[in-house]
Amino acid sequence: AFDQLITVGIGDTIRVSLTLPNDRKAEEVEAGHKIIEDIRAGRIRAVPEHWGEGLNIIACPSCSRVENMAFIDLAKEVTEMTAYANEHDLTIAVMGCRVNGPGETDDADLGLWCGPRTVNLKRKDEPLGAYTYDEVLGRLREELDKLIAAKA
């Protein structure tokens, strides 16, 4: 519906938030310009084909609450490591802080929320434990494999 609102003149500002280090935040502006260009060129559909199918990774854009900037690298590593599960209808949420993270990951099949030294992993609203940034990807993969096997 966003494209329809813009084309009839409703809304004159968009805000794009990406999970990027601070020195790359200008890319958010570039992404906003690309969205507008795609709307003008007719390349945006109100509901894209295959919307909601396959693996969905949600990551917060990072703000001043993030206590360990390793969160940004972790979000990228989660995306890369879980690529083998792209055909599975699952959601993984990666949140950068312990303020919003615990609640915002509840609806995801697997959720990670980051603290200064550890990453908390949970399945839906069930806590699975706190792991170091080095350990958590292995644990995430184990849990993802269990979910895939359970749906097979």
Q: Maximum distance among all alpha carbons in the chain?
A: 50
Quote the pLDDT of residue 65. Answer: 79
Task: Decide which of 89 and 9 is more confident.
Answer: 89
Q: Which two tokens stand for residue 124?
A: 């839906």
Quote the pLDDT of residue 109. Answer: 96
Q: Please say if the pLDDT value at position 13 is more than 90.
A: no
Confidence of residue 69 (pLDDT cuts 50, 70, 90): confident
Q: Please say if the pLDDT value at position 40 is more than 90.
A: no
Contact by Cβ (8 Å): 106, 112? no
CA angle, 96 as apex, 94 and 102 as ends, to 5°?
70
- Please state, rounded to an integer, the average pLDDT across all residues of the chain: 87
Q: What is the pLDDT of residues 82-119, one digit of tens each?
A: 999 999 999 999 998 888 888 888 889 999 999 999 99
Per-domain residue ranges for the chain? Answer: 2-40, 56-151
Report the candidate in 82, 58, 57, 69 with the shortest Cα–Cα distance to residue 24: 69
State how far the Cα of 57 lies from the Cα of 61, in Å rounded to an integer.
13
Report the candidate in 68, 127, 135, 79 with the shortest Cα–Cα distance to residue 103: 127
Q: Tell me the three state secondary structure of residue 24.
A: helix
Residue 12: alpha-carbon gap to chain centroid? 26
Q: Please say if the pLDDT value at position 10 is more than 80.
A: no
- CATH superfamily for domain 56-151: Sulfite Reductase Hemoprotein, domain 1 (3.30.413.10)
State how far the Cα of 21 lies from the Cα of 73, in Å rounded to an integer.
9
Contact by Cβ (8 Å): 115, 68? yes
Q: What is the pLDDT of residues 44-65, one digit of tens each?
A: 766 666 567 899 999 888 777 7
Q: Which two tokens stand for residue 48?
A: 């894209």
